Structure 1
Amino acid sequence: MIPALFAPDLPPACRQVLLVAAPDERSISAELHKLERDASNSWKQVGDTIPVTLGRNGLAWGLGEHQASPPPNFRLKREGDGCSPAGVFRLPLAFGDAPTSHGRLRYVPITQSLLAVDDPQSQFYNQIVDSACVTKDWSSTEFMQREDGLYRHGIVVAHNPSNQPDAGSCIFIHLWRGSDQPTAGCTAMSEANLQRILAWLDPALEPRLVQWIA
């Protein structure tokens, strides 16, 4: 079930994968499969397939743990392109508006001063920072405490881990506006499904997100 292009990039310690499969490069809708690796190193699906939405412009080749080169003419992820990143990515932490998480991932509670920095000129580019604790050097950020509640539950996707300017920033798994509503470049789903994923993910099993074309 793991795409052959990315299978070599999953470390042996990785026993859980969120596999997001889109029908084509431009699709705003995809299917998410929760996969577990068994004792024979075979991947098996756990639970039902979950519908998700992607960026308004589909998928673009991201920066993560994958080592392969993008297919010919496949778009490269860029800041503000409205694309979700294709590739293999760690899932280092969760966030939300509750004081503590019900899941096992490292958790960051959202506050009024918590920002996601998307200004490529900032030293904090592609990072979540507490604006009360750092000196502002950015011209563009996103408040993590959103009025629409889309970040009430969420997971950070470790895209562009070296924070390369203009390569795309602050990619999350979060709540969707609706099953037909795309994101700005994240992966989104219903609250019930995201809560199930948060309860399932185990950092001891080195979970990864794999996004590609079915």
Structure 2
Amino acid sequence: WGTGLHPAVAGGPVKREGDGRAPAGVFAIGDAFGYAATADTALPYRAMTAGDWCIDVPGSPLYNRIVSVQDVGADAIVGSTEPMRRDLHKQGDARYVLGFVIEHNTAAVPRAGSCIFAHVWKSPQTPTAGCTAMDAGHMQALLAWLDPAARPLFVLLPTPEHARLHAAWGLPAPAGD
């Protein structure tokens, strides 16, 4: 379970930094980001530079925040493994060419998981470290469709939990209900 808009369900596993799992729950959608100067989206958009990093170091006061080296200094990103321009820092990896922040662990509780995004996949067979990934065309369509005025939410639940919690949490019924 992640830290989102509803409490974790008792008895289930809890998201932890480095566990390689996506957090379950209901989350607000944060800013969109990408490599281009602009994107076709109504969400707030941030063009990433070589100096932008998401801090995944649990002991950092900047944990779970996207920061610019220009603003925080090079020492602040030491140990972080999440450059937002993966194409420049990770051998041309284009996964962050377009995406958005999933607002998990916004209180930045150390070791509760950080840098959770929806982004472009490397390939359909390549897992993420806890994010949600899709092909570039679907990401472009999703970002163009999202309307922040409608206060969209990101719901990521196992099917049995969705079936059990949808009414109590005010979610759409599972398909087939």
- 1:77–1:143 distance in 2 versus 1, CA, 3 Å: same
SS at match of 2:138: helix
Which amino acid in the other structure matches residue 110 of structure 2? P
Gaps of at least 5 residues in structure 1 are: 1-60
Deviations 1:153-193 (A, max 9, x none): 01001000100000000100001122222101100000010
Q: Which runs of 5+ in 2 are unaligned?
A: 88-92, 160-177
The DSSP-based 3-state class of the residue aligned with 1:204 is helix
Equivalent pair of 2:42/2:148 in contact (CA under 8 Å): yes
Distance in 1 (CA, whole Å) between partners of 2:139 and 2:77 is 31
Candidates 21, 30, 33, aligned match of 1:95 = 33
- Contact 2:69/2:76 (8 A) holds in 1: no
CA contact (8 A) 1:145 1:151 kept: yes
Tell me, yes or no, if structure 1 residue 64 matches structure 2 residue 9.
no
Aligned to 1:139: 78
After superposition, residues 3-152 of structure 1 pair within 5 angstroms as 61-67=1-7, 69-72=8-11, 74-135=12-73, 136-141=75-80, 142-147=82-87, 148-152=93-97
Whether the aligned pair in 1 keeps the contact of 2:69 and 2:77 (CA below 8 Å) is no
Q: Does the 8 Å contact 1:120/1:166 carry over to 2?
A: yes
Instruction: Tell me the distance in 1 between the aligned counterparts of 2:9 and 2:27.
Output: 15
Partner of 2:136: 191
Higher strand share: 1
TM-score, normalising length: structure 1 = 0.69
Q: Give the superposed CA RMSD.
A: 1.1
**Paired amino acid for 1:143:** P
Distance 2:131 2:79 in 1: 18
- Residue by residue over 1:53-90, the C-alpha shift from the partner in whole angstroms, topping out at 9 and shown as x without a partner, is xxxxxxxx1001113x4252x21100000000100101
- AA of the residue aligned to 1:66: H
Q: 1 or 2, which has the higher helix percentage?
A: 2
- Name the aligned partner's letter for residue 151 of structure 1: Y
Task: State the partner residue of 1:175.
Answer: 120
Give yes or no for contact 1:121–1:138 (8 Å, CA) kept in 2. Answer: no
- Partner amino acid, structure 1, of 2:116: I
Which consecutive segments of 4 or more residues in structure 1 shift more than 6 A?
A: none
> Hey, what's the Cα distance between the residues in 2 that align with 1:180 and 1:137?
34
Count of aligned residue pairs for this structure pair:
152
Percentage identity across aligned positions?
44
Shift of 1:149: 0.8
Aligned to 2:150: 205
- The one-letter code sitting in structure 2 at the alignment partner of 1:137 is A
